[in-house]
Every structure is written in structure tokens, then in C-alpha cells.
Structure 1
Amino acid sequence: MTTLLPLAYGYLRDDLLGAHDPAADEDKLRTAAASRGYALGTVFREPAPQNGMLPPAFVELVRECRRSDAHTVLTLNGHLSGMCICRMVLVAVLDVRADAAIQEIEP
């Protein structure tokens, strides 16, 4: 009998990935998920920060966490910072709307 691992999602900002291979950053999230005992689902990719609204890929991430009852989001350190919306607001929205928490991974 195979045990199913709890589901986690990923979140990355394209503007912080630079010119290198973006698949390498997704691989970092997959490796981190496996080492923490999660199965990594979709990695939500955010385009350059928007103007004071909740970032669109982040909104989709929250919806998906609610739909699937996933409670963990993995991201690289710094990918929730430097946007028009404060990091604390994003963390609170994810917590209140989806009962999910962020785990930041060192790049």
C-alpha cells in the first residue's frame, strides 16, 4: 500500500528568477517539498509585481489551496517581498482564506 503525501503548492515570482533556467528554481521547490514530506503540486508563477492589488497568480494559489485543502505553500526566500502588497498581508490572506502557511526555502 502506498502512502499519499500531503499536498503543497509552490509560488515563484518571474522577476526574481533572473536569466538562468527557471526550471532549476522549481526543482529546488520540489526537492524541498520531498525533504519535508510533501508532494508538490502546481508551482504558481507570478509576472512582475502589479499595482497595489493582490497579485493574480497569488489569488489563484489561494483559491487552489482552498479547493484542494492544501495547507502548505513553498517559495524561495524573498519571493513574497518587494511587491506593492506587504508580505504580512499576503501571509495573512493565505492563512485566513485558505488555512495555509508559507515555508520559505533558501535559494
Structure 2
Amino acid sequence: MTALLPLAYGYLRDDLLGDPNASEDKPRTAARSLGRALGTVFHEPAPQSATLPPAFIDLVQECRRAEAHTVLTMHVHLSGMSVCRMVLLEILDIRADFAVQEVEW
């Protein structure tokens, strides 16, 4: 019987990627190297307002539902939005006790 690995989810901003669909294998490899199984990679379109980004909200809800505690993202993908990076990290920490891993992929 194979043990199930803990889940991790990905979060990427499409405006910072060259081709959003070409990068799905890299987060899977990054998750595996951390001893995690990758669930969905949530893709955020370019930030447009001062509200919480929609894919980010979906990410938080899914991680809470699945009791996943690891979010993988690339450097700067939680930055440069109208909502401060620290606010996003606090939401991840307080709402669902997530650990955010910024990885290269």
C-alpha cells in the first residue's frame, strides 16, 4: 500500500509567466521534492483592483477544505498587487495555518 503524500497547492500570477500552461510540470517536481503531492495550481490574472485577488480566495478556500498546509509559489508572485504581500501572507497563516514555499520553477 502506498502512503498518500500531504497535499500542496500552487499559486501563480499569469502576468508574470511567459506561458502559464507550459509550467505545470515544474510545480509538481517542486512539490515532490518537498514530500508533497501537488493539487491544483491556481492561476491569477493580472491584478486589477484593491480587492483580494479571486484565485487567491479560491486557493485559501480549497486549502482549508482539503486541510492542505503548503502553498507553492514563485518569488514575487505574492508581491506587486494592490493588496500588500504581508496581508496575503497573514491571510494564509491565520485562515488556514499555511506554510508558503517560494520556489524556482
| TM-score interval, normalised by the smaller of the two chains | over 0.9
Look up the SS of the partner of 1:94 in the other structure: helix
Counterpart AA for 1:86: C
Between the aligned partners of 2:35 and 2:101, the Cα distance in structure 1 is: 13
8 Å CA contact 1:44, 1:58 repeated in 2: yes
How far apart, CA to CA, are the structure 1 residues paired with 2:99 and 2:84? 16
1:88 partnered with 2:91: no
Q: Which runs of no fewer than 5 residues in structure 1 stay unpaired?
A: none
Which residue number corresponds to residue 38 of structure 1?
36
User: What is the percent sequence identity of the aligned residues?
Assistant: 72
Structure 1 moving runs of 4+ over 4 Å: none
Give me the TM-score of the superposition, normalised by structure 2. Answer: 0.94
Query: How many corresponding residue pairs?
Result: 105
Write the distance in 2 (CA, Å) between the matches of 1:58 and 1:104. 15
Q: How many angstroms does 1:101 deviate by?
A: 1.7
Aligned equivalent of 1:6: 6
Query: Partner residue of 1:68?
Result: 66
Structure 2: stretches of 5+ with no match in the other structure: none
Amino acid at match of 1:40: L
Comparing 21-30 and 31-40, the one that deviates more: 21-30
